[in-house]
A and B are shown apart, each in its own frame.
Chain A
Amino acid sequence: MSTGGVSGGQSAGPADDTDGVHFDLGLYVAGQSPKSILAIENLRRVCDEYLSGRYRIEVIDLLETPELARAAEIIAVPTLVRRLPLPIRTIIGDLSDTDRVLVGLQLRPDGWRSP
């Protein structure tokens, strides 16, 4: 909360106090499944809109490197891990719920919903 938190009264919009902070994201998928493809598309869209120019996405295919699943404690797929900024945050699913993705990345406060 201290790192990426936004003040409660703030309305929807690209501006928040994570401005300028670089996001390092890892997306764990399993092959070219529909959920995997959907997750990659959704993540790109969110990042372009809210983190333009200050993000990096690494897509990890667990079918190719299964040992990484253990290292990163992955069970559910797809799973998005915000490695930076700390703390590490985990977002599960195909990322089609944009509001939840923004909350998960702490670009919006807990429980926030777009108007």
Chain B
Amino acid sequence: MTGESGGWSGMSDATGAGSAAAQNSGAAGLVKAPTGIGGFDEITRGGLPRGRATLVTGGAGSGKTVFGLEFLVWGARKFGEPGVLLSFEESADELATNGASLGFDLPELERRGLLAVDVFRIDAGAIVAGGFDLEGLFIRLGSAVDTIGAKRVVLDTVEVLFAALDSESTVRAELNRLVRWLKDRGLTAIITSERGRSGELTRYGIEEYVSDCVVLLDDRIQDELATRLLRVAKYRGSLHGTNEYPFVITDRGMVVLPITATGSARPAPDERISTGIDRLDHMLDGGVYRGSTVLISGGSGTGKTSLAGHLANASCARGERVLFVSFEESAEQLLRNMRSIGLDLHRWGEAGLLRLWAVRPAAYGLVEQLVELHRRLDEFMPSMAVLDAMAGLNHLGTSTSVSATIASQIDMMKGRGVTAVLTSLTHYGQGESSALAVSSLMDTWLLLRNTELDSERNRLLSVIKSRGSAHSNQIREFVLTDQGAELLDVYVGPRGVLTGSARMAQLADERAAAAGRGAQFQRRRQALARRTAQVEQQITSLREELAAEQAELDEFIEQDVAAGEGRDADRAVMAVHRWADPGATRDPEPDQP
């Protein structure tokens, strides 16, 4: 999210300025004309540059005409500014039908003199035979503007002129003149244009003349979701959000997200509310803060919905309203499943405290879901909203505008003081890391896990974070009974965290092992005693050996002395025999003379 965060904070800044800056803002005192398009005026801090032309560019079907229509209709209805629509593409009937699909009655506005629609049909077979200008366009536009006292003008779309009139240079020059003409008359204008085939802003480079403000519309697949995106590519002399903002076209018109929080002051209550599970409250030092955001993440079947159900149940029991949005189950399924774990949510529905909204994921795109969610929050004004397994939460952290959108929705709920409970499915192997990027948005994060051991699955709950409060670092076993959820201590031993039967087995093992160790000591003590006896025996026998050797040596010395005396006598005999001098004896003895 790093790449996005710069623009994101810029946007927050823009929304912070809020409605105070709706009419006038910008360092140069640039005056703005609000479009009335939900969200767009916040992004641009007040709308389009007044008295200037804005280029709205995008591919076919990207919503350019709708943007222009809204600008005119809201101008007429809300801001007392009549407008002229010059359409080169659609017939008056087609325009009326399009308007009706957005909830706008264009013919009625025309009758009241708040709107003038002039449809230009250019004869495709027209032949160009010499120089010309577009004075006819100027005359018609001028006449329409004067007739209703228009302040706003929309030209939809100018590429048609280039295609029909076989002289690019003339059309280019005339458009340039038109933009100046509009400016001279102080008209706030939108000129819509097709994007170039290889990504240029416009096919014929119109942005050269219409350069005060450029709005890009796009329609593409992102994270496997078809998403319409809007970006303010340029806004001379004004701060503006630089992100791509998702938008939707609903039967009530166009809405650009983020829709900002109604109140700018953000409450941060000290009050804690119960989760509905005593021991979890205790782990969280008394519960979760009112108006905070709680993330429950975990794999499938870890009990996310059940835990969220407890939070909802506890809220209703306090007499507070809860909006429970289920993206996975039907309302009936959800009620039945909650009943099976001892939660009677049905009675809260009867009492008007609980509203269930089961969303078929296929029915809406993500952005539409968010818009609809926004509407329901407006309508029901709950104090808690549960979003059970919201699609796209997993994508948070990938730096897409969709993530930014979800983030803004969380932000929006916070701004309203709604306690938000979101559940998120983490896939096997993703563990905690997958949701790391979300964590900055979450105040409390509960992680549910399944442990699988000895052909048994058991659930574990831990508190990963709980902002602004001391919380337990302990892992608890999360047990669902027909009387509700319970938390139990888990066994932590050398084989890791053990739950269920394995915990019991481990405890039994340990008792057995303790007994076993006693016997072992005894055996070893005996063995040592035996060994000591052996060694002592060996010492004795070695001493005996030494004594025997000493005796032998003494005997040997005695024999040697006796032998020496005999040898001297023999030598004397030999010397006589060889006639040798008495002194020539080779080995004279000291006892010889």
A30 and B130 contacting across the interface, CB-CB below 8 Å? no
A87 to chain B minimum Cβ distance, whole angstroms, is 9
Nearest CB of A to B142, in Å: 7
Q: How large is the interface on A (under 10, 10 to 19, 20 to 34, 35 or more residues)?
A: 20 to 34
A11 touches B (CB below 8 Å): no
Q: Is B362 an interface residue (CB 8 A)?
A: no
Asked if residues A28 and B127 are in contact (CB atoms below 8 Å), the reply is no
**Contact stretch, chosen from B133-141, B321-329, B574-582:** B133-141
Q: Are B127 and A104 in contact (CB under 8 A)?
A: yes
A18 at the interface (CB under 8 A from B): no
Contacts of A39 in B (CB 8 A): 130
Report chain B residues within 8 Å CB of A51: none
**Contacting residues, chain A, for B129 (C-beta < 8 A):** 91-98, 100-101, 104
Is the C-beta of B13 less than 8 angstroms from some C-beta in chain A? no
Q: B133 contacts which chain A residues (CB < 8 A)?
A: 30, 35, 76-77
Q: Please, how many angstroms separate the alpha-carbon atoms of A38 and B129 in the complex?
A: 12
- Whether A6 sits at the interface, judged by CB under 8 Å, is no
State the CA gap A100–B131 with chains docked (Å): 12
**Contact residues in A for B139 (Cβ distance below 8 Å):** 30, 62-63, 66, 69
What DSSP secondary structure best describes chain A's contact surface?
Answer: mixed
Q: Within 8 Å CB of B126, what residues of A?
A: 79, 90-92
State whether B127 touches A92 (Cβ < 8 A): yes
Assembly CA distance A35 to B137 (angstroms):
16
Pairwise interchain contact B135-A30, C-beta atoms closer than 8 A: yes
Q: Does B118 contact A (CB under 8 A)?
A: yes
In the bound assembly, the distance between CA atoms of A89 and B132 in angstroms comes to: 17
Q: A63-92: which have CB < 8 Å to B?
A: 63, 66-67, 69-70, 73-79, 89-92
Residues of chain A within 8 A (CB-CB) of B127 are 89-92, 100, 103-104
In the bound complex, CA of A74 to CA of B121 (Å): 9
Indicate whether B224 reaches chain A with its CB closer than 8 angstroms: no
Within the complex, what minimum Cβ distance (angstroms) separates A94 from chain B?
Answer: 4
Q: Does B541 contact A (CB under 8 A)?
A: no
Contact (Cβ within 8 A) B132 A92: yes
Question: Is B125 an interface residue when CB atoms closer than 8 A count as contact?
Answer: yes
Distance in angstroms from B215 CB to nearest chain A CB is 25
Contacts of B165 in A (CB 8 A): 75-76, 92
**B520–chain A nearest beta-carbon distance, Å:** 105
Q: Roughly how many angstroms separate A86 CA and B450 CA in the complex, as a whole number?
A: 82
Q: Is the CB of B132 within 8 A of A74?
A: no
Residues from chain A with a CB closer than 8 A to the CB of B140 are: 66, 69-70, 74-75
Q: Are A77 and B134 in contact (CB under 8 A)?
A: yes
Tell me which residues from 5 to 46 in chain A have a Cβ below 8 Å from any Cβ of chain B.
28, 30, 33, 35, 38-39, 42
**Shortest Cβ gap from B119 to chain A (Å):** 9
Q: Is B123 an interface residue (CB 8 A)?
A: yes
Q: Say which residue of B128, B136, B143, B161 sits within 8 Å of A74 (CB atoms).
A: B136
B542 located at the interface, meaning its Cβ lies under 8 Å from any Cβ of chain A in the complex: no
B228 to chain A, nearest CB (A): 31
Residue among A67, A76, A93 making CB contact with B143, cutoff 8 Å: A67
Interface centre among B120, B133, B136 (most CB of A within 10 A): B136
Least CB distance from B118 to A in Å reads 6
Residues of A within 8 A of B121 (CB): 73
Shortest Cβ gap from B243 to chain A (Å): 38
Interface 0/1 of B136-167, CB less than 8 Å to A: 11011011000000000000000001000100
Q: Which residue, of B121, B128, B133, B139, has the highest number of chain A Cβ atoms within 10 A?
A: B139
Q: Which residue of B lies closest to A46 (CB)?
A: B129
The smallest beta-carbon distance between A33 and chain B, in angstroms, is: 8
A-chain residues with CB within 8 Å of residue B381 when the two chains form the complex? none
Complex CA–CA separation, A90 to B142 (angstroms): 23
Complex: how many Å from CA A46 to CA B497? 101
Question: A23 to nearest B CB, angstroms?
Answer: 16
Q: How far is the CA of A47 from the CA of B136 in the complex (A)?
A: 24
Closest-CB distance, B67 to chain A (whole angstroms): 23
A28 touches B136 (CB 8 A): yes
Closest to A77 in B: B135
Contacting pair B123 A90 (CB below 8 A)? yes
Whether the pair B130, A97 counts as a contact (CB closer than 8 A) is yes
Task: Verify A94–B132 contact, CB threshold 8 A.
Answer: yes
Give the docked Cα–Cα distance between A30 and B139 (Å): 9
Q: Is A76 within 8 A of B134, CB to CB? A: yes
Residue among A62, A96, A101, A104 making CB contact with B136, cutoff 8 Å = A62
B interface residues with partner A (beta carbon < 8 Å): 118, 120-123, 125-137, 139-140, 142-143, 161, 165
Further pairs besides A67-B143, A69-B140, A79-B126: 8, Cβ < 8 Å: A62-B135, A70-B143, A76-B133, A76-B165, A91-B129, A93-B130, A96-B130, A101-B129
27 A-B pairs in the complex with CB atoms less than 8 angstroms apart = A28-B136, A35-B132, A35-B133, A39-B130, A62-B136, A63-B139, A67-B143, A70-B118, A70-B140, A75-B136, A75-B161, A76-B132, A76-B133, A77-B136, A78-B132, A79-B126, A91-B128, A92-B126, A93-B129, A93-B131, A94-B129, A94-B132, A95-B130, A97-B129, A98-B129, A100-B127, A104-B129
